[in-house]
Chain A
Amino acid sequence: MKKLKGSYLICFILLLVLCGCATSGNKAFQTNESQVALRSMQTRAFDSTDKKLMMQTVISTLQDLDFVVEKADLILGSVTGAKYLGNAVVAMTVTVRPRGEKQLLVRTNAQIGITSVEDPETYQDFFTALGKSLFLTAHNVD
């Protein structure tokens, strides 16, 4: 009987210890897609070297899509904006950086509420809209 009680106690303590180990911090770093897959759906290359013009076009595209631009930085090449979708907030960051001598890389990532967008079609929609404003073709990046 004593033995049984002892093992209950050990089980109980083990359970407590295990519970203590589970933190929600690492949840914030989980993604469903691989790093490579994410990059390829979020990134396109454009045949242009005018970073400023590209960023201004990104901003007007975001405005066309109903976003309010919250932050922008020419040196970093980043633009951040938000829009409302029903009761959820869509947050989006777009970065522009040079790729070699003749191209610019545009990368974007979006989040709805607490969900990261990992759907290629959604990003394709954005690049289609951006391409329309730029009169340039978006190239897939490997």
Chain B
Amino acid sequence: MKKMLKFVVILMICVFANGCATAPKGFLKLPDNYLEKRQLEMRIYDTKDENKIISAVAGVLQDLSFTLDESETELGLVGASKKADASNAGQKTLAFLADIASAMSGTSSNNLGNCDDVQLVKAAVITKPTLKKNKTAVRVTFQRVVWNVNKQISKVETLNDPEIYKKFFDSLSKAIFLEANEI
């Protein structure tokens, strides 16, 4: 009888805890490293001509084979996205070997189905005048969603690889130069 009571109490606690499941907190707190992130994602160009910069941005996104989804030139926003291959030969080989191993041991597994397959990369570029209004700041942020071979979402993340940002800004500098010289 006592055991039964204990069980009921635990069950009740479980039910209550379930009802209390709320959204996580603190996700809108400014992270400590936000100034570092600004440095990574932002460059300042020595021109007041925001329109020139924003059309160069659109050009660079096209160079990187993004399609433009959204733009509001008054605010200096360009949103773009791109689908790309996300498969990784190393990951696939390992998964294939693991599948063979489990087949040999008589169990079924589908590691290959969990391998990354396709990714959608989203980019948002913002241009705005600096505080002194004599230069233009450009800031870009990238996110990606990765689907596995079974078409399930396997990963969602903000891209923080400095290489990606460096490549973007290198292309932008080049595009500004090209457009200034009408090439």
Q: Could you tell me which A residues sit within 8 Å of B by CB distance?
A: 52, 55-56, 59-60, 63-74, 81-85, 87, 89-90, 110, 112, 115, 117, 119, 121-123, 125-126, 128-129, 132
The contact string, 1 if C-beta is below 8 Å from chain A, for chain B 27-51, is: 1111100100110010000000000
Which chain A residue has the least Cβ–Cβ distance from B74?
A: A74
Given A71-B79, A74-B72, 19 additional A-B pairs, CB 8 A: A56-B75, A56-B126, A59-B75, A59-B77, A60-B139, A65-B30, A66-B31, A68-B123, A68-B124, A70-B69, A71-B72, A74-B74, A74-B75, A110-B28, A112-B24, A115-B22, A119-B23, A122-B27, A128-B30
Distance in angstroms between the alpha carbons of A136 and B143 in the assembled complex: 30
Answer yes or no: B25 CB below 8 A from chain A CBs.
yes
Contacts of A123 in B (CB 8 A): 28
- Contact call A85/B24, Cβ cutoff below 8 A: yes
The contact string, 1 if C-beta is below 8 Å from chain A, for chain B 69-85, is: 11010111101000000
Interchain CB contact (< 8 A) of B122 among A68, A74, A110, A119: A68
Answer yes or no: B142 CB below 8 A from chain A CBs.
yes
Stretch of B60-68, B104-112, B151-159, B172-180 on the interface side: B151-159
Known: A68-B141, A71-B70, A84-B158. Contact between A119 and B25, CB under 8 A?
A: yes
Summarize A's interface: helix, strand, loop or mixed. mixed
Interchain CB contact (< 8 A) of A84 among B74, B76, B157: B157
Distance in angstroms between the alpha carbons of A55 and B47 in the assembled complex: 22
- Contact call A72/B41, Cβ cutoff below 8 A: no
Known: A68-B122, A71-B79, A119-B22. Contact between A63 and B41, CB under 8 A?
A: yes
